């Protein structure tokens, strides 16, 4: 505990003493004896810092390449290697490049004259470095690149200023609904108590506004309804369809998001009947074409996806 306290006091003293003029150094007097230069250790540290920088850059590049196979493993490898090299660099500095001096007396509580002494101690401990500025620069570059790599995943939080892309959906009047294999979906094929996923024909399925859930809530063509498959709570997929096993006493069917169990009533325009979602599931109006297949009759009843500022009603 007293060692920690001494270190804290040393740090404060150093900070306070930074701006003060340096004491005139007596060339014959040193607190820490000068250590011999070790160019090989210094080169090794420079090499290790270079490796850390390269790994940090590699992490950013791997993150940016969207279609990279085994991306998670590559990211982990880059980050793990960066920290391993950084650790090695610290060990080499501590063991081969920093002159250590142990003071046998306890650190004094009262330290009015110790500022310069500590600054001198630290300065002299680095006497083995012959290219201090270069090593400092390499270290700063390595840590800076690692910091940048740590911030890179924030880019996946989505657009910060222009969020209009999140509001775009491929659904227009007349666009046909297709199943996973791209086949049109006849309205008559939608059975009661079943759950179907549909996509817009000829459009990007990866768009947040593309996937639909289609269920039957009544007889005939009018009994088929479609909703966005993206939960309005936090954007997970609606993956469950709850149907009452004993309709006389149990609540009606519901589209359910398994993440936090938000439940939406398909018979009441996607109204939230349970869970944390703050607004209804957007509904897509449907029409039936001449061949009996489902088509969109317009756009969604509301913004698709999770709610955020400006979307929540
Ligand atoms: S994301 Fe659907 S309930 Fe939370």
* 68 and 153 within one domain: yes
Distance between Cα 154 and ligand 1 center (Å) = 21
Residue 51: count of CB within 10 angstroms of its CB: 18
Centroid of chain to Cα 190? 39
Q: Is 234 in the pocket of ligand 1 (CB under 6 A)?
A: yes
Specify if 162 maps to a domain: no
Specify if 206 maps to a domain: yes
* 174 and 143 within one domain: no
* Domain total in the chain: 2
Question: Taking 60 as the threshold, does the pLDDT of residue 16 lie above it?
Answer: no
Q: Is 259 in the pocket of ligand 1 (CB under 6 A)?
A: yes
Reported as a pLDDT band with limits 50, 70 and 90, residue 276 is: very high
**What residue owns the CA closest to ligand 1's atom 3?**
260
Question: What digits encode the pLDDT tens for the residues 148-195?
Answer: 999 988 887 766 666 676 778 999 999 999 999 999 999 999 999 899
Question: Taking 80 as the threshold, does the pLDDT of residue 12 lie above it?
Answer: no
Specify if 304 maps to a domain: no
Distance CA 57, CA 41 (A): 24
Q: Is 3 helix (H, G, I), strand (E, B) or coil?
A: helix
Q: Is 55 in the pocket of ligand 1 (CB under 6 A)?
A: no
DSSP line for 125-178:
HTTT-S-HHHHHHHHHHHHHHHHHHHHGGGGGG--SS--HHHH-----TTPBEE
Q: Is 118 in the pocket of ligand 1 (CB under 6 A)?
A: no
Distance between Cα 280 and ligand 1 center (Å) = 12
From 233, 240, 306, give the residue whose CB has the most ligand 1 atoms within 8 Å, as the site to mutate. 233
What is the model's pLDDT at position 6? 61
Look at residues 157, 185, 220 and tell me which one is the last residue of a structural domain. Answer: 157
Distance CA 295, CA 201 (A): 9
Output the domain CATH number for residue 178. 2.102.10.10
**Average pLDDT estimate for 113-127:** 75
**What residue owns the CA closest to ligand 1's atom 1?**
234
Q: Is 86 in the pocket of ligand 1 (CB under 6 A)?
A: no
* 176 and 153 within one domain: no
Contact 145, 40 (CB under 8 A): no
* 126 and 218 within one domain: no
Reported as a pLDDT band with limits 50, 70 and 90, residue 130 is: confident
Specify if 33 maps to a domain: yes
Distance CA 193, CA 243 (A): 6
* 112 and 198 within one domain: no
Contact 148, 252 (CB under 8 A): no
* 173 and 137 within one domain: no
Specify if 256 maps to a domain: yes
Sequence-ordered strand ranges (E) for the chain: 177-178, 196-200, 212-216, 224-228, 240-242, 254-256, 263-265, 271-274, 283-284, 286-288, 294-296
- pTM for this structure? 0.59
Contact 59, 115 (CB under 8 A): no
For the ranges 10-24, 92-106, 219-233, 289-303, which has the lowest average pLDDT?
10-24
Domain of residue 183, residue span:
167-296
The residue with tokens 């012959």 is 130
* 175 and 110 within one domain: no
User: 7 exposed, middle or buried (CB, 10 Å; 0-12, 13-18, 19+)?
Assistant: exposed
* 192 and 142 within one domain: no
Q: Which two tokens stand for residue 40?
A: 């090989």
Q: Which two tokens stand for residue 101?
A: 């001096």
Specify if 306 maps to a domain: no
* 100 and 13 within one domain: yes
Closest CA to 281 of 297, 305, 312: 305
Centroid of chain to Cα 247? 44
Look at residues 109, 136, 157 and tell me which one is the last residue of a structural domain. Answer: 157
Specify if 106 maps to a domain: yes
Reported as a pLDDT band with limits 50, 70 and 90, residue 201 is: very high
* 183 and 283 within one domain: yes
* 201 and 142 within one domain: no
Q: Is 236 in the pocket of ligand 1 (CB under 6 A)?
A: yes
Distance between Cα 200 and ligand 1 center (Å) = 23
* 175 and 100 within one domain: no
Bridge partners of residue 228, in order along the sequence:
212
Distance between Cα 270 and ligand 1 center (Å) = 14
Specify if 302 maps to a domain: no
What is the model's pLDDT at position 132? 83
Distance CA 172, CA 176 (A): 9
């Amino acid at each position: 505990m007293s060692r920690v306290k001494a270190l804290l006091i040393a740090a404060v003293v150093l900070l306070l003493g930074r701006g003060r003029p340096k004491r005139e150094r007596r060339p014959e007097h040193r607190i820490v004896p000068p250590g011999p230069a070790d160019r090989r250790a210094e080169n090794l540290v420079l090499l290790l810092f270079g490796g850390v920088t390269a790994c940090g850059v590699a992490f950013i590049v791997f993150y940016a390449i969207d279609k990279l196979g085994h991306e998670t493993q590559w990211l982990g490898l880059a980050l793990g290697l960066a920290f391993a090299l950084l650790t090695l660099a610290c060990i080499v500095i501590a063991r081969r490049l920093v002159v250590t001096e142990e003071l046998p007396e306890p650190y004094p509580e009262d330290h009015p004259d110790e500022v310069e002494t500590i600054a001198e101690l630290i300065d002299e401990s680095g006497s083995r470095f012959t290219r201090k500025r270069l090593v400092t620069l390499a270290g700063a570059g390595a840590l800076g690149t690692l910091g940048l790599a740590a911030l890179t995943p924030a880019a996946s939080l989505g657009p910060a200023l222009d969020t209009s892309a999140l509001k775009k959906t491929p659904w227009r009047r007349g666009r046909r609904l297709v199943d996973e294999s791209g086949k049109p979906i006849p309205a008559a094929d939608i059975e009661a108590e079943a759950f179907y996923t549909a996509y817009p024909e000829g459009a990007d399925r990866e768009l947040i506004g593309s996937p639909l859930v289609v269920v039957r809530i009544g007889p005939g063509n009018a009994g088929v309804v479609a909703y966005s498959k993206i939960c309005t709570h936090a954007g997970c997929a609606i993956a469950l369809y709850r149907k009452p096993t004993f309709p006389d006493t149990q609540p009606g069917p519901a589209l359910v998001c398994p993440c936090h169990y938000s439940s939406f009533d398909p018979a009441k325009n996607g109204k939230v009947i349970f869970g944390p979602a703050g607004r209804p599931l957007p509904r897509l109006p449907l029409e039936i074409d001449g061949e009996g297949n489902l088509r969109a009759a317009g756009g969604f009843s509301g913004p698709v996806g999770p709610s955020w500022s400006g979307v929540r009603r």
